[in-house]
Amino acid sequence: MPTVSVIVPCRNERAHLEAFCTSLRAQQLPEGWTMEVLVADGDSDDGSRAWLDDNAERFALQLVDNPQRIVSAGLNRALAASRGEVIVRMDVHTTYASDYVAQCLAALQASGADNVGGPWRAQGEGALSSAIAAAFQSRWLAGGARSRQVEYSGWVDTVYLGCWPRATFERFGGFDETLVRNQDDEHNLRITRGGGRIWQSAAIRSAYRPRDSLAALWRQYQQYGYWKPFVIRKHGGAASLRHWLPGGLVLGLAFSAALAVAGGPGWMAALLPGLYLAVVLAASLAIAAQTRWSYLTWLPLVIPACHLGYGLGFLLGVFDAWRGQGPRARMGRLSR
């Protein structure tokens, strides 16, 4: 019988493991398929490993050690231990429709792609987390990325998580273990630049749980921004405008602050901060009007946390990558 291998990186996800494994157990596979689940634990210290040990038999989990602790290394460890003809990645911070794996297999067969996946759909719990999810799905934050368009099906440059025939890894290699973030984007870039194709199917449904504090959201987006220049340097490309805009915003606001401290013209020092504040308020109103008005309490804080966190991280990443130095230590620790 053909086997699909589900590979799962995990570190300090104790609060989400029960819901994740419950959605795993609910998976309805096509007739004739079997499923194995390999969880790569990155030295969790919040009780996750003990929970996994206690529940491995209950949920049919195979546990793999990931001493490097980061996602890319965990994926590679689980991949090396897997035996399926098809590989599906899942994350613990996400719950899945009961036909998630079945739809992945169907999309893979129908498209003939080297990687398939569904849209990145966020679903919060509580007021702040729900406001983060609403902003996450909006063009004001996503910039029109197709991976966050929940109704879109078609050829794309990247997808959320992923499902691959094993031959894809034999052809393009595994995940880059020098990257703490953006390892999935880099792998998809390797696929498309190597002549492969990626397909997004709206029928592949999952719900991602965003961060539940502004500090955690800031750290997450700072790391997203920081690791992007290392991907760009590796592939010899140029950063697109949407990568530079948050960094340019951070530089502009820093210049405005310096101008104010130096006693420069008040109107000039206030121009960019005033314009950005107006944009944030307009975006907050637009998102709240499309979702819930109660999110207005948090959206004016959520949007700058993402923009400025990414922008500062991107500038730091450009500086470190340009110097040819290795990444700074605090950016090498996966944020939570």
User: How far is it, in rounded angstroms, from Cα 190 to Cα 251?
Assistant: 31
Quick one: pLDDT band at residue 273, thresholds 50, 70, 90? very high
Residue 103 has what pLDDT?
Answer: 97
User: How far is it, in rounded angstroms, from Cα 87 to Cα 105?
Assistant: 10
Residue 188 has what pLDDT?
Answer: 92
Amino acid at 157: D
Quick one: pLDDT band at residue 147, thresholds 50, 70, 90? confident
User: What are the pLDDT digits (tens) for 214-252?
Assistant: 999 999 999 989 988 888 887 776 556 777 888 999 999
Q: Does the pLDDT at position 334 exceed 70?
A: no
3-state secondary structure (DSSP) of residue 54: helix
Residue 161 has what pLDDT?
Answer: 92
User: Is the domain 3-211 a CATH 3.90.550.10 member?
Assistant: yes
Lowest mean pLDDT among 78-82, 115-119, 122-126: 122-126
Q: Does the pLDDT at position 335 exceed 60?
A: no
- At 331, list the tokens: 């950016």
Residue 144 has what pLDDT?
Answer: 65
Q: Tokens 């291998």, residue? A: 5
Q: Return the percentage of the chain with pLDDT > 90, whole number.
A: 64
Q: What is the mean pLDDT of residues 78-91?
A: 96
Any idea what DSSP says for residue 122?
B
Maximal CA-CA distance, the chain: 74
Residue 24 has what pLDDT?
Answer: 92
Residue 15 has what pLDDT?
Answer: 87
Quick one: pLDDT band at residue 125, thresholds 50, 70, 90? confident
Q: Which residues contact 71 (CB under 8 A, 6 or more apart)?
A: 9, 175, 180, 183, 334
User: How far is it, in rounded angstroms, from Cα 259 to Cα 268?
Assistant: 8
Let me know: does 332 contact 316? Beta carbons within 8 Å.
Answer: no
User: What are the pLDDT digits (tens) for 169-213?
Assistant: 999 999 999 888 888 888 998 999 899 999 999 999 999 888 889
* Delimiting residues of CATH 3.90.550.10 domain(s) in the chain: 3-211
Q: What is the mean pLDDT of residues 95-123?
A: 94
Residue 231 has what pLDDT?
Answer: 82
